[in-house]
Amino acid sequence: MLTAGVALAAFAYEFYADNSVAQARNAAFSALVIAELLRAFGARSNEQTIWQIGWFSNMRLFMIVAASFVLQLLIHHLPVLETLFGTEPISLAQCVTWIMLGAIPFLVLEMGKNRRWSQQTPLQLHTGQPRL
């Protein structure tokens, strides 16, 4: 729900800023893609945060996410891909805004892990039993 909310927020922000449905669709699509790319890192563990695991501990995942991010940027800047995907060129400010919006679900997920992790006793951490 949070990812959908972020995509809708990106759509609304861009629509009311530029009054352009095409730019609003670009924003929602890009925020959604970025959110899902970042979620791939967060999905690696239910207990440990990405800062505990490390961004580069799985280089294949890192390279796939990096390549996907580059492709996401290219669909807004290469005419053939713009035509294929129905996108338009974006500014640096738009790109930064969409990345920040797309990072919200990832950050919430990671903060939730840290909170669950810190609330368990050492015995619960060892056995994996949730705290009642």
Q: How do residues 78-97 score in pLDDT, each as one tens digit? A: 999 999 988 888 889 988 99
For 114, list phi and psi in degrees, rounded to 5. Answer: -60, -40
In a domain, 130, yes or no: no
Contact at 8 Å (CB) between 80 and 73? no
> What's the rounded Cα separation, in Å, for the pair 78 and 14?
21
Supply the pLDDT for residue 129: 55
Quick one: what percent of the chain has pLDDT higher than 70?
86
Residue 19: strand, helix, or coil: coil
In a domain, 63, yes or no: yes
pLDDT band at residue 118 under the 50/70/90 scheme = low
In a domain, 80, yes or no: yes
pLDDT at 132 over 70: no
Tally of domains in the chain: 1
Domain range for 33: 2-111
